[in-house]
Amino acid sequence: CTSRNHVVCHGIPRRDEVLAPGDIVNVDVTTELDGYHGDTSATFFIGEPSAEARHVVDVARRCRDAGVAVVRDGARLGDIGAAIEEVARAEGCSVVREVGGHGIGRRMHLPPHVAHTGVRGAGMRLRAGMAITIEPMVNLGSHRIRTLADGWTIVTEDGSLSAQFEHTVLVTGDGCEILTLS
């Protein structure tokens, strides 16, 4: 998927859509190796970004990193969401609530749902051996989203910029291993 500017996720490349200087674009890539799936994404600048674009992209990266930093055996899903939401709110941004990360393995999308908002100490406990994605979608404006008529593409309701970074992580006894580092 390629998600440009106000497209939160599931952007579909179109011949009539040309990237322009100042745009931001998220590229979401999936892989499969030996029957196991991986899922990663990053947001890139096209040319020189505006201060607002630079801000939302930086915050999205920091939100993903904050979520990854709390992953360990025994942590709770709410710990991940709370860590992400705290960074976004402190920077005047919002986190999309309706879509989030997921378990991953022999199938691309497995339980559990990994919300990117939450309450510390709440939710299911992570256990060593679990693989999940952490992929917060961070908006410069409201957290509200809507789905376009194609039934797939999700955009910010207010037209504000949205950025996303994603890693697939394996929960270990003493933290996690990021499986999508290059």
This prediction has a pTM of 0.95
- Write down the domain spans for the chain: 2-8+30-178
Query: How does residue 182 score in pLDDT terms, banded at 50, 70 and 90?
Result: low
Residue 40 has pLDDT above 80, yes or no: yes
- Pick from 83, 58, 77: nearest CA to 133: 77
**Structure tokens of 49?**
């970004």
Distance in angstroms (rounded) separating the CA atoms of residues 100 and 97: 7
Query: How does residue 133 score in pLDDT terms, banded at 50, 70 and 90?
Result: very high
Is the separation of the CB atoms in 15 and 157 below 8 Å?
no
Which CATH class for the 2-8+30-178 domain? alpha beta
What pLDDT, on the 0 to 100 scale, is given for residue 57? 99
Query: How does residue 33 score in pLDDT terms, banded at 50, 70 and 90?
Result: very high
